[in-house]
Chains A and B, each alone.
Chain A
Amino acid sequence: MGVELISANHAAALAATLAGRANRNGRGFCCGVYPITPATDCMEYLCNQEIEKSKVVRVESEHSAMGVCLGSAAAGARSFTTTSSNGLAYMAENCITVANLRLPVVMAVANRTMGPPWNIWADHGDSLMLRDLGWIQLYCADNQEVFDTVLAAFRLGEDSRVMMPVMVCMDGFILSHTIAQINVPSQEVVDGFLPVTAIPHQLGATPHTLGQIEVAHQVASHRQQHHLAIISALDVYGEIQDEFFGATSRRLADPVVAYRMEDAQTAIVSMGTIGATAERTVDELREAGVRIGALRIRMFRPFPAATIQKLLAPVARVAVIDRDISLGYGGVLGGEIGSIAGVGKLVQNYVAGIGGGDVRRSHIREIIEDIGGRETAGPAQIMEGLI
């Protein structure tokens, strides 16, 4: 077990490198990569690694980056790529195919605002745009979590019960470019944790066609299978957490990270790094005697509805903070939490930090003050003036 002082971008690439090497006795490791701020450092790091039985293809667009991963996974190899914002939008078409063909590609996404007008800072609108395409989505709050989650993502996506692609999201710049100390397991430990990639429907020797025409009932039946496969990731993730602990003596963060929720009357629900700020704010407010806790949704797809419902059951007020906005509706997470929170709760949605606005503890205290004074929930509140 070593210690590294690296950015989250590099942590993701290092995890992919170790995972790639772990497949040297399988069909190898193959990536298509293309630069985009703030995910560029991740692909640069990967391009500098010596990985046995691997090929990193420097392609001409994100569309082709996902194309290469698609082809590589269809030929049975382990595949990884990284992108952000418009790059994700540009490759979206191939992301659909990868999910529809159940190819367990892993992708690190440095969340960034969609443009033009250009803005390179953190916003979850890019990955949430792909919410419904069949990718497992995991959101991280620190560098260690990014490393651990990328490693676990290969195990999760490639599990025969799941066999779906996984997106590991980190806030652009806030995480992607922040350097922090992380613990890194040795190659032997990773080899033990990650079995060799086995994709049962890879293009083998027998003639069969992947991706051909399907009629309605076949589409419905396949969507049903894929839906259940993604849902099964909830249980499989639990098993992986145990295995991860056994291999590294470190706990892989839960799908929903609950913080000081005991006897809480108010809960702050968020994703990504806002969740970490929310936890510090909870500490402050708890000191002042406020009965408050925080939930950080790490696994957004599959949506761990039952866990969230259980955690929110004793709570009266729920402040959902979204670093994204579905125009004409409100925050995406706000909508999802609102739909499962149950009756008798005041669920208020706040949109904060879009376009990379810095969400500070003072902003979260404002939110808590606002929700405390409410009789009923209103439409999503967009917090302006964050810089």
Chain B
Amino acid sequence: MREPILSGIVQTEQDRPRPLLRPGSSNCGGCGMSNILQLLSHAIAERDVRLVIPACCGAITAATYPQSAFDVPTILTTFASAPSVATGMSSVFRLNNEDTRVICMAGDGGTYDIGMATLSAAAERNEDILYICYDNEIYGNTGGQRSSATPLGAATTSTPKGKQEIKKDIMAIMAAHRIPYAATVSIAHAADAVTKMRCALDTGGFRFLHILSPCPTGWKSEPAMGIELVRLAVRSGLFPVYEIFNGERYVINIEPDFSDEALAMYLSLQRRFRKSGITEANLRPQIEKHWNGLRSLSGRILPARRL
């Protein structure tokens, strides 16, 4: 019975018999990336995969040589290189008619910032890669500095009074590359997550998954509250859960209730928003604007906020 390792997620015959993340990883307690790897483990099932991990918290996850916490062959790369290294690997697997899927697991720093050019180029070439960005909205590995994924008002060690700028819209950037598949994934909605991970694993060409990944250390939140925080972000409309096919067909997967209560709860359960004094009232107009855009792209003309 693998129940304890799998954090309560039911293991079925269709799942990967051995967890992707083995015991002995050096992730912090409550790390969202651990949850993501468990969900991914279910999604992968019998598929042959390789992991490519740039400098990020995931580079520490494996722990020290020669033991490795990853149950699949993994290569750790320089910060900006995951998509280029994955390109080389995936090309060789295709040359040899092997069905091996190459998965990049990168943080927001490696995706939104330093690796942006490499990511954009690999997406433009439509390389056969699944790129997963686990977004903890900070440079977690170096102790929690701002990245361009850090949301407005969040205090980090390099923005001690709270970040002044809004978060970069990574999904719009990836959609602009017209890649076959891009989706946001909520770790609080396991069935939706595993379905989309499988879709991403089995689609050819460049696939991108954006996953909000709670970081108790950086967010100053309770380790046990991670999944609940993501649920609140989804409920309030702060983290929209949707898919984009070929950069043009938008499908909204989870309908939020746009509850101010959920948004207030999301902010108050993390100490990173305290100093800037940001409230749900500050965030609501931005959320509505974002949702109005998503509605029009998904061809649904419902107002962002249900009255």
Q: Are B85 and A60 in contact (CB under 8 A)?
A: no
Given A97-B77, A210-B74, check contact A218 B65 (CB 8 Å).
yes
B50 interfacial contact with A, CB 8 Å: yes
Contact of B76 among A57, A94, A207, A212 (CB under 8 A): A212
**Alpha-carbon gap, A67 to B52, bound state (A):** 11
**How distant is the Cα of A243 from the Cα of B92 in the complex, in angstroms?**
29
CB contact between A28 and one of B71, B83, B92 (< 8 Å): that residue = B92
Q: A30-B92, A76-B92, A218-B65 are in contact. Are A63 and B87 (CB under 8 A)?
A: no
A27 contacts B95, C-beta separation under 8 Å: yes
Which of B118-126, B165-173, B185-193, B282-290 interfaces with chain A?
B118-126
B50 → chain A, closest Cβ, in Å? 6
Closest to A93 in B: B78
Q: Which residues of B contact A204 (CB under 8 A)?
A: 73
| A235, B81: Cα distance in complex, Å | 35
Interface digits, B49-92 against A, CB 8 Å rule (1 contact, 0 not)? Answer: 01010000001101111101011111111101101111111111
Please name all residues of chain A whose beta carbon is closer than 8 Å to the beta carbon of B245 when the two chains form the complex: none
Q: Flag whether A64 is at the interface (Cβ < 8 A).
A: yes
Complex: how many Å from CA A13 to CA B91? 20
Please state if B118 and A27 are interface contacts (CB–CB under 8 Å). no
Partner of B87 from the list A32, A54, A76, A93 (CB cut-off 8 Å) is A32
Compute how far the CA of A28 lies from the CA of B96 in the bound complex, rounded to whole angstroms. Answer: 8
Whole-angstrom distance from the CB of B39 to the nearest CB of chain A? 19
Q: Are B89 and A75 in contact (CB under 8 A)?
A: yes
A140-187 residues with Cβ-Cβ distance < 8 A to B are none
Task: State A89–B78 Cα separation when bound (angstroms).
Answer: 15
Report the minimum CB–CB distance from A294 to chain B (whole Å): 41
Knowing A57-B91, A61-B118, A77-B95 are in contact, say whether A207-B72 is a contact too (CB < 8 A): yes
Contacts of B94 in A (CB 8 A): 55
Map CB proximity to A onto B87-106 as digits: 1 under 8 Å, 0 otherwise.
11111111110000000000
Interface residues on B, range: 35 or more
Q: A61-B117, A64-B118 are in contact. Are A211 and B76 (CB under 8 A)?
A: yes
Proximity bits, A36-67, B CB within 8 Å = 1, else 0: 00000000000000000111011111011111
CB distance from A308 to the nearest CB of B (A): 35
Is there contact, CB below 8 Å, between B60 and A72? no
Within 8 A of A (CB), among B111-134: 117-118, 120-121, 125
- Specify which chain B residues have a CB less than 8 angstroms from the CB of A59 in the assembled complex: 84, 87, 121
Is the beta-carbon distance between B120 and A60 smaller than 8 angstroms?
Answer: yes
Interface-central residue, B65, B75, B85, B88, by most chain A CB under 10 Å: B88
Q: A67-B81, A212-B68 are in contact. Are A32 and B88 (CB under 8 A)?
A: yes
Interface centre among B62, B68, B87 (most CB of A within 10 A): B87
Chain A window 87-104, contacts with chain B (Cβ cutoff 8 Å), 1 for yes, 0 for no: 000000110010001000
Interface size on A, residues (CB 8 A): 46
What are the residues of chain A within 8 A of B118 when measuring CB–CB? 60-61, 63-64, 67
Chain A residues with CB under 8 Å of B64's CB are 212-215, 218
- Residues of B contacting A209 in the complex (Cβ-Cβ under 8 angstroms): 62, 65, 68, 70, 73-76
> How far is A206 from B90 in the complex, measured between Cα atoms in Å?
17
Taken together as a complex, chains A and B put the C-alpha atoms of A211 and B52 apart, in Å, by 11
Asked whether A57 and B125 contact (CB < 8 A) given A27-B95, A207-B70, the answer is: yes
Q: Are A70 and B77 in contact (CB under 8 A)?
A: yes
A205 on interface, CB distance cutoff 8 Å = yes
Contact A73 B88, beta carbon cutoff 8 Å = yes
Q: Are A203 and B75 within 8 A (Cβ)?
A: yes
- Verify if A79 is at the interface (C-beta below 8 Å from B): yes
A74 at the binding interface (Cβ < 8 Å): yes
The residue among A65, A68, A214 with the most chain B CB atoms within 10 A of its own CB is: A68
B75 / chain A contacts, CB cutoff of 8 Å: 71, 74, 101, 203, 209-211
Q: Which residues in B have their C-beta under 8 angstroms from that of A58?
A: 125
Contact A212 B81 (CB under 8 A): no
A212 with B63: CB separation less than 8 A? yes
**How does the 8 Å CB contact mask read for A208-231 relative to B, with 1 for contact and 0 for none?**
111111110010000000000000
Report Cα–Cα, A215/B63, bound state, in Å. 11
Which of B68, B70, B81, B120 counts the most A-chain CB atoms under 10 A from its CB? Answer: B81
B residues near A61, Cβ cutoff 8 Å = 117-118, 121
- Shortest beta-carbon distance from A66 to chain B in Å: 8
A30 touches B68 (CB 8 A): no
Known contacts A68-B87, A207-B72, A60 near B121 by CB under 8 Å: yes
Closest 5 CB pairs of A and B: A71-B88, A67-B84, A60-B121, A72-B88, A64-B84
Seen from chain A, the residues whose Cβ lies within 8 Å of a Cβ on chain B are 27-28, 30, 32, 53-55, 57-61, 63-77, 79, 93-94, 97, 101, 203-215, 218
In the complex, besides A32-B87, A63-B84, A101-B75, 18 extra interface pairs with C-beta distance below 8 angstroms are: A28-B96, A57-B87, A61-B117, A70-B84, A71-B86, A71-B87, A71-B88, A77-B88, A77-B92, A97-B81, A205-B73, A207-B68, A207-B70, A208-B73, A209-B73, A209-B74, A212-B63, A212-B74
12 A-B interface contacts by CB (under 8 A): A53-B96, A60-B118, A75-B88, A76-B92, A79-B88, A101-B75, A207-B71, A209-B62, A210-B74, A213-B60, A213-B63, A214-B64
